[in-house]
Structure 1
């Protein structure tokens, strides 16, 4: 027997699956909530990407040297001249540590010239001598780009917030206090043995982490008396 709710659903214009699809599309299109400092949240544009927002605010979204997604630099590829007939088969670009051999028509070696200057040709153009030059070039490009008034205001607010920030005080929980008490009671001040104990050290803490936790808890004597 068909219930009243099922009869109404059959008469409705859209099915439950269509309504759920529309709701899913709305959730997908909705921009995620921005979590961060107030200076960034107030100037955040949900219609822009993370990289575009950071660039507008004078910040760097990724510290990676090799950007991707349209922000990487494009270099024009130089034309490589083809060797002409009757000419020497000496390549135009030679890497250092190799030598050029010149031969006569009969194939006998006439001279050997060692190459000392590195000139490497890649599919994307001349290769960089080192990553330091590429990093220096990127830093120069960032310094030459003028920052907007909004970017200067955001950077000033972030620097002021960083100066006013205070370290968060760490508290030892009751369970951690019991765990440290068992460690100290069994091994005293042998932190290496504590880290190797699989039964008590269930979180696989390193000797340095255990030493730091005991220090925060008040020291060995305080942990023993707890």
Structure 2
């Protein structure tokens, strides 16, 4: 007669051990782009693959998990030179400086005695301005990026056209104010969406090109 301990051993039997895949590790499967799929290394992570191929995992900034690189402090001599150059800016140069500054950034223009003449503050770009903005070409660093750019160059470019309502609205502004974009800006009846003077200027330029 078997003891209870022996019966339990017979009932359990031999334990089968097998190696299973890590269910927490996300497996990346590239289906859409053949160029990336052919150059993908399955032994590397998504971030490692993108860095090797010369791509970005996200267009936004790094939210965390990586060391922040603090820029070196700016020498005082460079700041003095920039302030001297800022004194000699014309109105056209000031508009260029505004476009180069980010929202929340600003520059102070002073006279020879140190008195504040004006404060140049960066303005947020609208969706239309971002679409119409022309960027300087950046040289590709990897063969994969060059292949992707060559493929993208063969695509069809789409131009944004103004709607009939927008054309009629811009025509009313031009008929009433001509090229005075500041007057268009302060027109409460027509400028119901409170578009800025630069936004209205771009819309009028588009309208004049098509008409």
- Higher Cα Rg: structure 1 or 2? 1
TM-score by length of 2: 0.38
TM-score by length of 1: 0.36
